[in-house]
Structure 1
Amino acid sequence: MKDVLDFFHESWPVRVVFRPGAATTATPREAAALGLRRLLVVCGSRGAATARAVADSLGPACVGLHTGARMHVPADVATRAVEVARAAGADGCVAVGGGSSIGLGKAIALRTGLTPIAVPSTYSGSEMTPVWGLTEHGAKRTGRDPVVLPRSVVYDPELTLSLPVPLTVTSGINAVAHAVEALYAPDASPLTTLMAEEGLRAMAGALPAVADQPDSLEARGRALYGAWLCGSCLGATTMGLHHKLCHVLGGTFDLPHAETHTVVLPYALAYNAPAAPEAAATVARALDAADAPHALRALAARLGAPRSLAELGLREADLAEAAARTAGQSYANPRAVTAEGALAVLRAAYEGGPPEFPGD
């Protein structure tokens, strides 16, 4: 942890409501408290029924339901959603669903300045960050802008009860990745370190419980609590190698978002651990394990998650291009990232073996 007398921390203006049933009871009140009177609800096709219920709860304040969200937020999809929002005369946007829906809501806010509200149904954590992403011409670009940060986030554990266990697992480990990178971020603070460790511990305990009893509202709520903390860490700190790798793999090679994070995380941490031993030790402590990268891989394997990029459809011939694209970007990371280093991480994740590198 950094010296408590030498750090900075920025708190974002987000109001959080967390309770079962809040999606349809609290969302209208949150919109009214923000002074919003014409709300566009956005979602993906899988979550349309839930989004419809939220839209209905808004009554005449809802001016439309747009179901066009897609993974990695393709630029043309964002453009279409912006057109819908403007045509409806919306003054706010309610994103209902996972990272794709919330990402689309952010894209609308980025281009229009509309006030965003988020009602998450997965554990992506995007709702707690000012980070946006768009994919165009085979590349995913990201940025940070306060305008995309949801002003209200409504957490309703009941919404996650229908999330299949495999998606629950990968979505949860995606959230874990946010906390892991926050621990060695250059702008980490004592507060983000505390949130990261608590988020890791909560998620690592909740995921096996959900796998054992998918209809447990307590376990689902605990996972959502962990996602909130992990997402908050991502919102307060700078992303490093892990997220950049996953953005390249998703944006350029169209690999599934949460599954890619799940596979890459142990290998990215193993690569960075020699340069960030305190962060690795904190992860290990939160997981009640001796070795953090191996424990993360074991957690995913025990819960039946994918274990290699090959399983996700990446071709071995794509590894060199992915490494070059990753190393060609500028970002903060505790260990220098060369094309050779990025390729080593990608090859290890492609093969899915133990997360170890020469010299570790």
Structure 2
Amino acid sequence: MPGESMASTTNTSSGLWKPTQLQQLYYGSGSVSKQLVNALPSPKSKAFIITGSSLATKTGLIKQVESLLGANHAGTFADIKQHAPVAQLDQATDRVVEDPNIDTIISVGGGSPIDSAKAISYRVNEKLGKYLFHITIPTTLSAAECTMNGGYSNEHGLKIAVSDPALAPRVVIYDSIFALETPPRLWISTGFRAIDHAVELMYHPNATEIPARQMCLSAISTLFTYLPKYKQDPRNEETITHLQLGAFASLGFLGLNVSGPLGLSHVLGYALGSPYSIPHGFTSCLTLGHVVQLKAESNPADAAQIARMLPYIGRPRSGDDIADAKAVGKAILDLVESLDLKTTLKDWKVPDVEATIITKRATKKEPGDPTFEAVLGLVKGLYGLGASFESKY
């Protein structure tokens, strides 16, 4: 079956990797203007653009895409909000269904427009019996473009997932010119989301050694190297391109082997993200380092996989997997702090009394269960004292 998983092991002599339907990946400055029209499935294709209001109203990027498409442009929906609320998703889906000639959806932006485009394609298939050809132009490092999984927030703010091999984008275009319009703090925080992908894929039981884990190690090295360089010079397009390719390496070789969330940091991110309006880049900054340290102490197999990352962030192995895995967690926390991204749940105005609710939401377990208690301790730690912080996104 197309979506069937096969568990892998640390043994590199056997395994199975199944790629997504991605056909083309373009990267480099100006790649949108050079390649977008060529990437359409046919010269007569009708393409519908999905994006957010900031890109549409505060930059010239969407008008540029519309102009490049010319007669192939069938419409634009520019009201996708953070965490993809279902109300906007319904509106955009209705617009697409009204025109049966639309065969292509183009997402421009971060994880919310990309996930929304997948969810719209899923709903269009339910109504019309066809999936849309998805071209994506990412403007963050969220790596949502890398998978067949999408999602949106229901009316209660909870994440609803959709997943199908046919939802994976067919074409990804990384253009550093488009990334120049992303606020640097947002860009760096989504880089941590990419680190989160790479780290949690390393210890996911279904991840293949080749190419998934090997590419995750490459991604970790790239992201740890170039995020500090980007902070020093956010206009350097070569640095931006390195980070875009690092984000792709963090999740682009997952293939069809894994469905659902990658691991504890991700499920905590979902439990914290849309319910409390915390962008997923910042949920990763909050949770990942602590999750890694918890896993180092509680799961020897996970500790062994985490320890493999240490040389890729410039630190020598000691030979003690638990100590090395803890060192990786410390390095992640240090990087968050050095890039001025350290926040707490108090900074995000999450009430202390919500800790139990967050833990139940993430673990699907009840108080008294050992997993619940361990994660509850982690969540309580996220309320630690910190500087006042106001969301700008």
Residues 269-316 of structure 1: per-residue CA shift (max 9 Å, x gap): 111123112222123222123611110011111011133222223221
Instruction: Choose the corresponding residue for 2:382, options 327, 336, 349.
Output: 349
How many angstroms apart in 1 are the aligned matches of 2:44 and 2:373? 51
Aligned to 1:286: 312
Determine the structure 2 residue equivalent to 1:126: 144
Which residue of 1 is the match for residue 111 of structure 2?
99
Q: Which amino acid aligns with 2:272?
A: L
The residue number in structure 2 matching 1:139 is 158
Which residue matches 2:348?
A: 312
**Distance in 2 of aligned mates of 1:199 and 1:127:** 16
Tell me if the contact between 2:19 and 2:253 (Cα under 8 Å) persists in the aligned partners: no
TM-score (norm 2): 0.84
8 Å contact from structure 1 (residues 75, 134) kept in 2: yes
Residues in 2 aligned to 1:311 and 1:52: alpha-carbon distance in whole angstroms: 37
Which residue of the partner structure matches residue 35 of structure 2?
Answer: 26
Counterpart Cα distance in 2 of 1:233 and 1:297: 26
CA gap of 1:279–1:348, structure 2 versus 1, over 3 A, is farther
Match of 1:332 in 2: none
Contact in 1 for aligned 2:105/2:117 (Cα 8 Å): yes
How large is the Cα RMSD of the aligned pairs? 1.9
Separation of aligned partners in 2, 1:234 and 1:296: 22
User: What is the total number of aligned residue pairs between the two structures?
Assistant: 346
Q: In percent, how many aligned pairs have the same letter?
A: 24
CA shift, 1:254, in A, is 2.5
SS at 2:19 equivalent: coil
TM-score by length of 1: 0.91
| Residues 246-261 of structure 1: pairs in structure 2 closer than 5 A | 246-261=269-284
Q: 1:153 aligns with which of 172, 175, 180?
A: 172
Alignment partners' CA distance in 2, 1:280 and 1:180: 7
Map Cα deviations across residues 87-130 of structure 1 (whole Å, 9 max, x no partner). Answer: 23321100011111111111111111222111101101000111
**Cα deviation digits, residues 50-96 of structure 1 (max 9, x gap):** 12211211110011111011111111211111011122332110001
What letter is aligned with 1:241?
L
Q: Unpaired segments of 5 or more residues in structure 1?
A: 330-335, 354-360
Structure 1, 282-291 or 142-151: larger mean CA deviation: 282-291
Find out whether 1:43 has 2:62 as its counterpart.
Answer: no
Q: How many angstroms apart in 2 are the aligned matches of 1:71 and 1:200?
A: 26
Equivalent residue, structure 1, for 2:320:
none
Task: Give the superposition deviation at 1:229.
Answer: 0.7
Structure 2 vs 1, CA of residues 233 and 270 (structure 1 numbering), >3 Å: closer, same or farther?
farther
- In structure 1, C-alpha distance between the alignment counterparts of 2:371 and 2:132, rounded to whole Å: 40
Name 1:241's counterpart in structure 2: 264
Q: Is 1:64 matched up with 2:87?
A: no
Aligned CA distance change for structure 1 residues 271 and 80 (closer, same or farther; 3 Å)? same
CA contact (8 A) 1:306 1:312 kept: no
Could you tell me which residue of structure 1 aligns to residue 127 of structure 2? none
Select which of 8, 11, 27 maps to 1:3: 11
Contact 1:140 1:251 in 2 (8 A): yes
Moved more, 299-308 or 173-182: 299-308
**CA pair 324-115 structure 1, distance change in 2 beyond 3 A:** same
Q: Which aligned pairs between 1:218-237 and structure 2 lie closer than 5 A?
A: 218-235=238-255, 236-237=257-258
Distance in 1 (alpha carbons) for counterparts of 2:370 and 2:243: 32
User: Residue by residue, what CA displacement relative to the aligned partner does 1:179-212 show, whole Å, maximum 9, x if unpaired?
Assistant: 0010000111111111100011111111111111
Amino acid at match of 1:58: L
Distance 1:35 1:271 in 2: 53
Deviations 1:21-76 (A, max 9, x none): 11222111101x45661100110011113122112111100111110111111112
Residues 327 and 64 of structure 1: CA distance in aligned 2, closer, same or farther (over 3 Å): same
Shift of 1:253: 2.5
Q: Bigger radius of gyration, 1 or 2?
A: 2
Change beyond 3 A, Cα 1:352–1:280? farther
1:93 aligned counterpart, secondary structure: strand
- 2:194 matched residue in structure 1: 175
Q: Is the 8 A contact 1:297 1:307 kept in 2?
A: no
Please say if residues 255 and 312 of structure 1, whose CA atoms lie closer than 8 Å, have aligned partners that are also in contact. Answer: yes
Q: Which residue of 1 aligns with 2:235?
A: 215
* Cα distance in 2 between the residues matched to 1:175 and 1:133: 17
**Cα offset for 1:352?**
6.8
8 Å CA contact 1:8–1:187 kept in 2: the answer is no
- Which ranges in structure 2 are unaligned for 5 or more consecutive residues? 1-8, 125-130, 316-323, 387-393
Partner of 1:192: 212
| Equivalent pair of 2:85/2:157 in contact (CA under 8 Å) | no
CA shift for structure 1 position 337 = 7.0
Q: Label 1:98 to 1:337 Cα distance change in 2 as closer, same or farther (>3 A).
A: farther
Q: 1:320 to 1:268 in 2, by over 3 A?
A: same
**How far apart are 1:249 and its partner, in Å?**
0.8
